[in-house]
Amino acid sequence: MEHRPFTAALAGNPNVGKSTIFNGLTGLRQHTGNWSGVTVAPAAGQCRYGEQDFLLVDLPGTYSLDAHSREEEVTRDFLSQGHAGVIIAVCDATCLERGLYLLKQILKLDSVRDRGTPLILCVNLCDEARKKGIVIDFGLLQDVLQFPVLPCCARRPEDLEALKQAVCESVGTACCYDCLDFSPKQLARETVRYTNINYRRREEILDRIVTGRFTGSLLMILLLLGVFWLTMAGANIPSELLWKLLFSLEDRLAAALTWLGASDFLTGLLVHGAYRVLAWVVSVMLPPMAIFFPLFTLLEDLGYLPRVAFNMDRAFMRCRACGKQCLTMAMGLGCNAAGVVGCRIIDSPRERMIAILTNALIPCNGRFPTLVTLITLFFMAGGLWAGGGAAAAGEPGIAAAARTAISGGSSPLLTSLASALMLTALILLGVAATLACSWLLSHTLLKGVPSSFTLELPPYRRPQIGRVIVRSIFDRTLFVLGRAAAVAAPAGALIWLLANTHLGGQSLLLSLTGALDPLGRLMGLDGVILTAFLLGFPANEIVLPIILMTYLETGALVEMTGTTTLFSLLTAHGWTAKTMLCMMIFCLFHWPCSTTCLTIRKETGSWRWTAAAMALPTLLGIVLCALTNLVCTVLT
């Protein structure tokens, strides 16, 4: 019984480093970021100090136990119901007074006072406090509070070890807080000394630029453009090498299966079906994500995302929505399902629902590779129209497309810049659609006025480059790629089966594409494209591979040696620049993937709202594609 695990809870304001401490103590990889609202659900992990094990729970950040949002309710309920055997109150050393207000509320809980629950005050971010010339008298602070007070830097192993020791030593002790009463403001005044009164001067100057009415928007667009340009320019060579490597193995795998005695049916199912789509997903998705995610995480750790939300607040307020919706949009760039869960940071139920219903209007990482490939193909078509001609036959990779884009002879640098401009324009179109749909919802189904909210602008922090790269690749890139690969292989096999299963003299795949072809033509697409989006419902990453597989099994079999071959295959099946443009629009606006839909159902508790979240972007995409098709037809 003496080794029975107990529970310790991490509680504190948002963005004080609770999740970083949690990761350091447990060895887990709870998502961290330099903005408030990163943790929206509790996480638990095992800790060990000596022979003692205990369960550590990371609670969502809150400024007060007077809860106004769902994640704050989780923290309040967990603490008030006495689930924690030890409470670790985490404060920010650069803003001690604010953390002391929450600490005082915790001390007033009946579950804490009656049970004498041990408390530990962990003053985190002491390294940042030293850089700013903030000195804290920890001895005086502990004398007043009469329970352990530990200075901490969450990235120092020795500080985390001291925290674990303090937790284990507190177990089994009964504390009395009846006589403990203090003024957070007065206590902070007595224990904190500022040796540099202008420590925020540099941040204030930067904020005037970053959050300025005109400079803030301009900087936001330029940073977005820069991230996309680096992503598209840097992905060319790795994508080409991966493409060559993976597709060179296709014939060898087929030969190996034949040598093992596999039938033609099994070989086609596994190699030309499952493996071909899997190879496509890996070669096209991995390089852009491996570049985009670290760049995006750098901006996140720098503290830029909340300032984007501040800049966007005025626009959302005019739409009668919440400025925090901008943060959930940014999360949606990584994964729409994560963006939907992140909507918990919005206090108002009405505004939270608006954010959930419109989150899929921002393209997730699964749609980025498709958009990048379509933009490349669009410029190749533009090069043909301008008389530049196609790339040399058999030239592989996205780099090949760059050599034939825009007037048939522009440099890869200019091509990447033009592609980044077009991708930025598409993202801004998604933002505009989000604002427009938010306005529509707030004036119809979800009427109301915008609520006030508190948005903390975190300090600017120098990102740790190595940590960002490791976290981005392992926690985001490989995780998303693994999810896509798990869906891609079965989808490839399914498409091959549909294409090779005949009923009434026609394959099942052709029957499905034929039924959808009239609607597809109205939208400037065709039945194959709409079928690909339907079958790609499990994951957006596999839409283009499904299109490829469908055309290959119903037309000429083409060896996949690069984007040039893909361009030839698509144009042979009637694709034009108009088709590629309409495809980009529908890729931007269509129903969310199955994971996101299930997340919406879980967050809203309603299939009706889930259906609305699917119908909203889909109807918008159909209308915009039809209008684009009409305009292009009239102009040409």
500-557 pLDDT, tens digit per residue, is 888 887 888 888 999 999 999 999 999 999 999 998 888 787 888 888 878 876 554 4
Share of the chain above pLDDT 90, in %: 37
Buried b (16+ CB within 10 A) or exposed e, 300-326: bbbbbbbbbbbbbbebbeebbbbbbbb
Report whether 426 contacts 371 (CB < 8 A). Answer: yes
* Amino acid identity for residue 387 in this structure: G
Give the residue from 8, 40, 3, 38 showing the smallest Cα distance to 26.
8
Gap between the Cα atoms of 121 and 402, Å rounded: 57
Any domain includes 448: yes
Considering the domain architecture, whether residues 244 and 163 belong to the same structural domain is answered as no
Q: Comparing 63-72, 214-223, 315-324, 576-585, which segment has the lowest mean pLDDT?
A: 63-72
Any domain includes 219: no
Residue bearing the bigger pLDDT, 381 or 341: 341
Mean model confidence pLDDT for the chain? 84
The predicted pLDDT at position 388 comes to 43
Q: How does pLDDT run across 366-389, given as a tens digit for each residue? A: 788 888 888 888 877 765 444 444
Sign of torsion, CA 579 584 590 593?
positive
Reply yes or no on whether the pLDDT at 404 is more than 50. Answer: no
- Which of 137, 171, 194 terminates a domain? The answer is 194
Q: How does pLDDT run across 101-134, given as a tens digit for each residue? A: 999 999 999 889 888 899 999 999 999 999 899 9
Gap between the Cα atoms of 228 and 220, Å rounded: 12
Cα separations in angstroms, 23 against 50, 56, 345:
19, 10, 21
Gap between the Cα atoms of 160 and 21, Å rounded: 7
Any domain includes 478: yes
- Would you tell me how many other CB atoms lie within 10 Å of the CB of residue 530? 20
Considering the domain architecture, whether residues 157 and 239 belong to the same structural domain is answered as no
- Which of 194, 216, 245 terminates a domain? The answer is 194
The predicted pLDDT at position 382 comes to 62
The predicted pLDDT at position 385 comes to 46
Any domain includes 579: yes
Considering the domain architecture, whether residues 335 and 409 belong to the same structural domain is answered as yes
The token pair at 171 is 């177990």
The radius of gyration computed from the CA coordinates of the chain, to the nearest angstrom, equals 28
Report whether 388 contacts 404 (CB < 8 A). Answer: yes
Gap between the Cα atoms of 471 and 465, Å rounded: 10
Give the residue from 46, 180, 168, 153 showing the smallest Cα distance to 94.
153
Q: How confident is the model at residue 492 (pLDDT cuts 50, 70, 90)?
A: confident
Give the residue from 617, 536, 619, 592 showing the smallest Cα distance to 335.
592
Residue bearing the bigger pLDDT, 174 or 21: 21
Mean pLDDT in residue range 306-316: 87
The token pair at 419 is 């592609």
Considering the domain architecture, whether residues 511 and 613 belong to the same structural domain is answered as yes
Considering the domain architecture, whether residues 170 and 241 belong to the same structural domain is answered as no
The token pair at 518 is 């009239």
The predicted pLDDT at position 90 comes to 96
Reply yes or no on whether the pLDDT at 84 is more than 70. Answer: yes
Mean pLDDT in residue range 64-88: 86
Considering the domain architecture, whether residues 173 and 314 belong to the same structural domain is answered as no
Angle at 359 between CA 61 and CA 23, to 5 degrees: 35
* Helix or strand holding residue 193 (H, E): strand 192-194
Secondary structure E strands in 80-155? 86-92, 119-124, 134-136, 149-151
* Amino acid identity for residue 40 in this structure: V
Any domain includes 207: no
Reply yes or no on whether the pLDDT at 136 is more than 60. Answer: yes
Considering the domain architecture, whether residues 271 and 155 belong to the same structural domain is answered as no
Considering the domain architecture, whether residues 188 and 246 belong to the same structural domain is answered as no
Main-chain dihedrals φ then ψ at residue 392, nearest 5 degrees: -60, 140
The predicted pLDDT at position 31 comes to 67
Q: How confident is the model at residue 413 (pLDDT cuts 50, 70, 90)?
A: low
Domain limits at 99? 6-194
Share of the chain above pLDDT 70, in %: 90
Residue bearing the bigger pLDDT, 389 or 211: 211
DSSP H helices, 121-214, are 126-131, 138-145, 157-170, 184-191, 201-210
Considering the domain architecture, whether residues 143 and 239 belong to the same structural domain is answered as no
Residue 21 zone, left/alpha/beta (φ > 0; ψ -120 to 50; rest): alpha
The token pair at 600 is 């919406």
CATH code for the domain in which residue 58 is found: 3.40.50.300
Gap between the Cα atoms of 294 and 472, Å rounded: 5
Considering the domain architecture, whether residues 155 and 282 belong to the same structural domain is answered as no
**The total number of structural domains that make up the chain:** 2
Q: How does pLDDT run across 239-296, given as a tens digit for each residue? A: 888 888 888 898 899 999 999 999 988 998 898 888 888 887 788 778 888 888 888 8
- Compute the residue count for the chain: 636
Gap between the Cα atoms of 569 and 567, Å rounded: 5
Cα separations in angstroms, 490 against 21, 435, 529, 554:
40, 37, 19, 19
Query: Strand pairing of 119-124 and 149-151?
Result: parallel
Gap between the Cα atoms of 95 and 16, Å rounded: 9
Any domain includes 211: no
Buried b (16+ CB within 10 A) or exposed e, 190-223: ebbeeeeeebeeeeeeebeebbeeeebeebbeeb
Gap between the Cα atoms of 225 and 118, Å rounded: 51
Residue bearing the bigger pLDDT, 417 or 40: 417
Residue 178 zone, left/alpha/beta (φ > 0; ψ -120 to 50; rest): alpha
The predicted pLDDT at position 601 comes to 93
The predicted pLDDT at position 42 comes to 83
Any domain includes 215: no
**Distance linking the first and last C-alpha atoms of the chain:** 81
- Write the burial class of residue 457 (CB in 10 Å: 0-12 exposed, 13-18 middle, 19+ buried): middle
Gap between the Cα atoms of 636 and 628, Å rounded: 12
The predicted pLDDT at position 613 comes to 96
Considering the domain architecture, whether residues 67 and 125 belong to the same structural domain is answered as yes
Considering the domain architecture, whether residues 304 and 382 belong to the same structural domain is answered as yes
Any domain includes 1: no
Gap between the Cα atoms of 590 and 619, Å rounded: 8
